[in-house]
Amino acid sequence: MASPDAFTRALAGHAEWRAIQQKNDPHIFENLSKGQSPKILWIGCSDSRIPAEQILNLKPGDVFVHRNIANVLSPSDLSSLSVIEFAVAHLKVEHAVVCGHTSCGGVQAALGNKSLGVLDMWLQPIKHLRWQHQGELEKAGEAKVRRLSELNVLNSLEVLKMNPTVIEAVRKRGLKLHGLIYDLKQGQLEVLDGEEEEEVRGRKFDVFAVEQ
| Annotated catalytic residue within 99, 104, 130, 146 | 104
* Helix 144-161, helix 164-173: angle, nearest 10: 80
67 a catalytic residue: no
CA dihedral 183, 44, 125, 110 (to 10 degrees): 50
Name the residue among 124, 136, 157 with its Cα closest to residue 166. Answer: 157
Q: Which of 55, 40, 53 is nearest to 181 (CA)?
A: 55
* 183 known member of a binding site: no
Reduce the secondary structure of 45-98 to three states and give it as a string.
Answer: ECCCCCCHHHHHCCCCCCEEEEEEHHHCCCCCCHHHHHHHHHHHHHCCCCEEEE
| Catalytic-residue membership of 77 | no
- Polymer length in residues for the chain: 212
Distances (CA, A) of 66 to 49, 79, 107, 146, 167: 15, 9, 18, 21, 19
Q: Are 47 and 105 in contact (CB under 8 A)?
A: yes
Q: Spot the catalytic one: 66, 101, 130, 146.
A: 101
Residue 99 is among the residues annotated as catalytic for this protein: no
Q: Which of 9, 14, 18, 49 is catalytic?
A: 49
Confirm whether residue 99 is marked as ligand binding.
Answer: no
The verdict on whether 25 is a catalytic residue reads no
Contact 160, 134 (CB under 8 A): no
Could you list the residues known to form a binding site, using ranges. 45, 47, 101, 104
Please enumerate, by residue number, every residue annotated as part of a binding site for Zn(2+). Answer: 45, 47, 101, 104
Enumerate the active-site residues. 45, 47, 49, 101, 104
